[in-house]
Amino acid sequence: MKITDLYIDKEVLDYPATNVICDRLNTSFQVVNNAEDVYGIFANVKTPVEKGKKTLFLTKNKGKFIRQCPGTDYYTCCNYMILHFGIFCTMDCSYCILQSYFHPPLLQFFVNHKDLEKSLDHLFLQKKLTRIGTGEYTDSLIWEEIYPFAEMLVSKFSRQSHAILELKTKTVNIENLLSLRHNRKTVVSWSLNTERVVKSEERQTASIKARLTAAVKCQEMGYPLAFHFDPLIIYPGCEEDYKKIIKQLFANILPENIVWISLGSFRFMPALKSIIEQRFDQSKIVYGEFIKGIDGKMRYFKPLRINFYRQIVSYIREIAPNVTVYFCMEDDEVWLKTLGFTPSEYGGLPMMLDKSASRHCDVF
C-alpha cells in the first residue's frame, strides 16, 4: 500500500486497529469529523480513481457487516454472503466495477472490529452452513500489509463448525495465513486470467506464476482452495491462452483440493465504458460483440458466451472431471447448453456449492 493521505474519523481515533495501522504506515494523518469531510476533498479532483487508491480513510461501518451478495433475479445466484469490512482496492484492473460503483472511489477500512465480531458470533449461533467472503467490495488480502485482518478472521472461523470463509485475491499476501490453525474453515481463492489479460488489464497485481506459487503454499498447509476465471475475456487466440492457464493450474494444484471453480464472462454497466476508455486507453476489451442483458449490463452475445464457455469447461473437465464448476450470473440456457444441466436439477446452485463445501471443508 502506497498511502499518501491518511484520514481518521474522530470516533475511531483510539480504536486498537487504528493504532496498529498508524504504527505500520508511520505517516502523518488528519482527524476528520465525518465521511463528508473526506469526500469533499475529491470534489474537484481530475483523477479521483488514482487519488482514491492512495487515500485511506479509517472509520466505522455503521451499517451491516454481513450482507447478501447483490445478485439479480434474472440470473442464477449462489446466495453468497458478504463480510463488508472495507472498500476499494490498491490494484488497478481495467474492468473493475469499483471504479464506477463508489462515489468517490476511496480506500476505506472499518476498524470497529468488536461490532464485526458480534455480527459473526450471531451468524455462528444459527448453526447453518453459510458461505461468506470478503472479496466483493475489495480484495481480501491487500490489507494484510497494514493490519492482520485475514489472520484474525481465519482464527475466528476455525473455532466454529458451520460457516466457511472465502478469501479471494489477486495478491500473494499469504504469509500471515501459513502458520494458522484454520481447521479447514477457510477457503483461499485466486482470480486467474491469461498472461495477456494480466499484463494489459490487471495493473499492480501478482503474476499468474506468483499466484499459483502462493496457492501451492496454502495447499501445503491444508487450506481448501478455489479459483475464479472471471472475467473471461474474448480476443483472438484466447482459447489457447486459457487452455494454457488451466494446464498451469492443475500442474500445481491437486483437483481434490479445489472446492469450486467459477466462470464468468466480461460484463459491465454502460457507465464503465468511458472510464475504461479514459484510464486504459490501450485497452480493447469494451469493443467486443456486446448486447445489453436483462440486468442492464453489457454482455457478450449469448451464442459467443456459450461457445466460449464450452471450450473452457472442456479444458477443465479433461484434467479434473469431478471438480465443481459453476457460472457466476448466467441463466438456465447457458447452464444447459454448456454443462448439460441446470442448477435446479441438483436442488439449486446454493445447494450445489454447499455440498461441495461440505466435502472439502470440515463443516456440518
Q: Which stretches within the chain are classed as H helix? A: 16-25, 35-39, 48-52, 98-101, 113-125, 149-158, 195-201, 208-220, 238-252, 271-279, 302-319, 332-339, 349-360
**Position of cell 477500512?**
109
What pLDDT, on the 0 to 100 scale, is given for residue 186? 98
CA 136, 139, 163, 120 torsion: positive or negative? negative
**Architecture label for domain 5-360:** Alpha-Beta Horseshoe (3.80)
Whether 341 shows a pLDDT value over 90: the answer reads: yes
Q: Could you tell me the three cell numbers for 206?
A: 501478482
Residue 98 has phi, psi (to 5 degrees) of -65, -20
Confidence of residue 91 (pLDDT cuts 50, 70, 90): very high
What pLDDT, on the 0 to 100 scale, is given for residue 312? 98
Whether 287 shows a pLDDT value over 90: the answer reads: yes
| CB contact at 8 A, 198 and 172 | no
Cβ burial of 239 (10 Å; 0-12, 13-18, 19+) is middle
What pLDDT, on the 0 to 100 scale, is given for residue 76? 85
Q: Could you tell me the three cell numbers for 63?
A: 451499517
Q: Could you tell me the three cell numbers for 282?
A: 490501450
Residue of 153, 149, 351, 315 whose CA lies nearest to 238: 315
Residue of 315, 231, 313 whose CA lies nearest to 272: 231
What pLDDT, on the 0 to 100 scale, is given for residue 77? 81
pTM: 0.96
Q: Determine the straight-line distance between the first and last CA of the chain, rounded to whole angstroms.
A: 38
3-state DSSP call for residue 342? Answer: coil
Q: Could you tell me the three cell numbers for 188?
A: 483461499
The rounded mean pLDDT for the chain is 95
Query: Could you say which DSSP state residue 44 is in?
Result: T
Domain ranges of the chain: 5-360
What pLDDT, on the 0 to 100 scale, is given for residue 360? 96
Q: Which residue has the higher pLDDT, 294 or 298?
A: 298
What is d(CA 270, CA 296) in angstroms, rounded to the nearest whole number?
8
Confidence of residue 103 (pLDDT cuts 50, 70, 90): confident
Burial readout 78-111 (b: 16 or more C-beta within 10 A, e: otherwise): bebbbbbbbbbbbbbbbbbbbbbebebbbbbbbb
Residues 188-218 pLDDT 10s: 999 999 999 999 999 999 999 999 999 999 9
Residue of 234, 192, 228 whose CA lies nearest to 209: 192
Mean pLDDT of 179-192: 97
Q: Could you tell me the three cell numbers for 255?
A: 483437483
What is d(CA 177, CA 72) in angstroms, rounded to the nearest whole number?
33
What pLDDT, on the 0 to 100 scale, is given for residue 195? 97
